[in-house]
């Protein structure tokens, strides 16, 4: 059963922070996200301690980026509740914006100023080449190449991606 439009609008605005909580010692995707979040918090704090903490989190981010072979730039606008299920080889352009509670699988590329709405699922190996917007609750199939806007609630797949 699909959620109603009203439920989607309300849920798209509230991040589920538990999706980003580190749950075990080896949890590279969540540790990469934690480094990004803590870097942002340290920069916002400012002052000498904030600068020192931000430098530490830059090093931690570099480490987890190296481990995961992912490129998620510090300062990229990422809504809460992002889930990187298998965080290997994910490339996100620094001008991309990711909505709340999205899920991105391995080998995904967001090229250019791509805007993902809330609760968007992006399948393994998908390439989203912007500038474009993906609406709330949309699903991008594995290995899809998306070159046009995707409406809210749509499922797209294929090369080039078409609504299915």
Selection from 154, 36, 161 nearest residue 98 by Cα: 36
**pLDDT tens per residue across span 66-123:** 999 999 999 899 999 999 989 999 999 999 999 999 999 999 999 999 999 999 999 9
- Specify the long-range contacts of residues 113-118, CB closer than 8 Å, at least 24 apart: 117/12, 117/152, 118/11, 118/12, 118/13, 118/79
Question: What does pTM read for this prediction?
Answer: 0.86
Residue 35 clears pLDDT 70, i.e. is over it: yes
Answer yes or no: is pLDDT of 11 > 70: no
Q: pLDDT-derived band of residue 1, with 50, 70 and 90 as boundaries?
A: very low
Name the residue with higher pLDDT: 44 or 10.
Answer: 44
> What was the pLDDT predicted at 130?
84
Residue with more model confidence, 103 or 5: 103
Q: What is the mean pLDDT of the chain?
A: 91
Does the structure show a pLDDT above 60 at 30? yes
**pLDDT confidence bin for 59, thresholds 50/70/90:** very high
* pLDDT, greater one: 13 or 131: 131
Question: Rounded to whole angstroms, how far apart are CA atoms 79 and 163?
Answer: 25
The sign one gets for the Cα dihedral 58, 112, 156, 100 is positive
pLDDT of amino acid 13: 74
């Amino acid at each position: 059963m699909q959620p109603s439009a009203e439920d989607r609008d309300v849920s798209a605005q509230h991040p589920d922070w538990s999706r980003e909580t580190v749950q075990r010692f080896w949890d590279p995707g969540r540790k990469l996200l934690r480094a990004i979040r803590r870097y942002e918090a340290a920069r916002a704090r400012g002052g000498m301690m904030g600068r020192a903490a931000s430098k530490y989190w830059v090093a931690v981010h570099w480490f987890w980026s190296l481990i995961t072979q992912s490129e998620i730039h510090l300062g990229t606008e990422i809504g809460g509740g992002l889930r990187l299920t298998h965080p290997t080889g994910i490339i996100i352009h620094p001008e991309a914006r990711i909505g709340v509670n999205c899920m991105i699988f391995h080998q995904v590329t967001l090229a250019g100023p791509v805007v993902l709405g809330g609760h968007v699922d992006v399948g393994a190996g998908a390439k989203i080449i912007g500038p474009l917007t993906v609406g709330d609750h949309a699903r991008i199939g594995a290995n899809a190449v998306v070159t046009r806007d995707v409406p809210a609630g749509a499922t797209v797949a294929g090369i080039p991606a078409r609504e299915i």
